[in-house]
A and B are shown apart, each in its own frame.
Chain A
């Protein structure tokens, strides 16, 4: 199966803990993205990566970190500095960052802070 996988599907975190969300794609896409989705709001961009070993902050990067050591993988770490981390997190990928190219989304990870 070709596509994007995210794990885990559900994640619970205690306040003060860092957690890492996994995102893997086998579409051979260069560009990958992390979004956050909150009820009643549009998706907001956290980080994106155009190529291996490169990534850029999106609109709401504070309290998050990423790495892009492999083309297939783009993990997101939610740090204790993120004040309101409870949300639905979506990973996406596209062939590159050219505007006409479609972004494909993973199934998402729901993070809840206890």
Chain B
């Protein structure tokens, strides 16, 4: 069964600290992996999209890594800000069409 699992479910960090969110997937065939940020009560916003051949991709203070061999990805947030408080969703695209398999998300709270 195609699945995307994320850990931890929730995380609290202090402003200015770094953190890393994890994503494991069992989706096949694999097309690409995406990380989205979702503020409470809003729609998800794309942070990064990585294909099979990409190991790392950055978007400002967000850096995503992909290990296609172990089927793992991580999202590293550097120098966290209060506005980083949100849910971060790992999404894997299955096959040649835009069929997305969503993880349940990691809820991040950044405290002052």
Contacts and interface: CB of A to CB of B under 8 A. Distances in A.
Interface of A: 4, 31, 40-45, 88, 90, 92, 94, 96-108, 110
11 contacts: A41-B104, A42-B89, A42-B103, A45-B100, A90-B43, A99-B32, A102-B49, A103-B46, A105-B43, A107-B43, A108-B42
Given A41-B104, A42-B4, A42-B89, A100 B43 contact: no
Nearest to A9: B41
Interface of B: 4, 9, 31-32, 34, 36, 41-46, 49, 51, 89, 93, 95-105
Nearest to A10: B41
Given A42-B103, A102-B46, A107-B43, A97 B97 contact: yes
Given A41-B104, A42-B4, A42-B104, A103 B41 contact: no
